[in-house]
A and B are shown apart, each in its own frame.
Chain A
C-alpha cells in the first residue's frame, strides 16, 4: 500500500547526513581529510553513497509498482488508502511491518557490504600474489 514510504524516509535522512558530511569535508582542510580517509580502508562517505543509492533506487522502483497497481495517484492525498479510514489503518500496519523490515534489511545488507568491502580492500591484489616482492 505504502510500504516504500519507510525506506524513503530513511533515504531522505541518509541523504541529509551525506550532504552534511560533504559540507564538513569542504570546510575542513584537505590534509585533514586525506589523513582520516587513509585510516579507513574504504572512505565512509563512499559507503554512505552505496546506502543512499540502494534506498533511493528501491524506493523509486517500488513507487512505480504502487503507481502501476493504482495505490499512488498524482493528486492529493496521493495515496489511495488515505481516502478511507479502514484502509488507512491497514496502510499504517503495512508500513510498520513490511516497510520497517525493508528499511532494516537494506541497512543490514549495507553493513555486511561495508565489512566485506573493508576486508577485500585490505587483501593484497591478485597481481601481488603472483609476483610477490622479495
Chain B
C-alpha cells in the first residue's frame, strides 16, 4: 500500500511537472523524492514477494490500514521537505517581498 501511494504521488507529480509553465515551483525535487522512494520500495516489495509468494497480495486488514496511514504520512513528509526547500530557495521572491513589506 505504501508503494502504491508513493507511486501514484510520483506519477501525479511528474504530470504536474510536465505541464508546468516555469520552474518556479521546483516540482522536479518532489518528482525525484517520490521516484527514489518508489524504486526503493519496489525492490523491497520484490524481496517480500519472493518470501511470501501469493500471501503478499492478501495482507491482513490491520496491516493494510497501517500501511495506508504510513503511505499518507510519507507523502505528507515529502511535501513538507519540498515546501521548506521552496520557501528557502524562494525562486519567485514572494517570501523576500513579504518580509520587506513587514519591515516597511
Contacts and interface: CB of A to CB of B under 8 A. Distances in A.
B32 interface: yes
B39 interface: yes
A64 interface: yes
Contact of A98 (B33, B39, B44): B44
Nearest to B82: A57
B37 A58 contact: yes
Interface stretch (A83-91, A102-110, A115-123): A102-110
A105 B39 contact: yes
A4 B6 CA distance: 16
Central interface residue in A50, A53, A61, by most chain B CB within 10 Å: A61
Contacts of A62: 37, 40-41
Mostly, the A contact residues are helix
B43 A53 contact: no
A56 B40 contact: no
Contacts of B34: 57
Contacts of A105: 39, 42-43
Contacts of A7: 40
B32 A98 contact: no
Interface string B27-52: 01100111111011111101100000
Contacts of A60: 33, 77, 81
B2 A65 contact: yes
Contacts, number: 72
Most chain B Cβ neighbours within 10 Å, of A56, A65, A101: A65
Interface residues of A, number: 24
Contact of B44 (A3, A54, A59, A109): A3
B43 A56 contact: no
B36 A106 contact: yes
B73 to A, nearest CB: 7
Contacts of B47: 97-98, 101
16 contacts: A3-B44, A53-B33, A54-B35, A55-B36, A57-B32, A57-B36, A58-B33, A58-B36, A58-B37, A58-B40, A61-B33, A61-B36, A62-B40, A102-B39, A105-B39, A109-B39
Interface of A: 3-4, 7, 50, 53-62, 64-65, 68, 97-98, 101-102, 105-106, 109
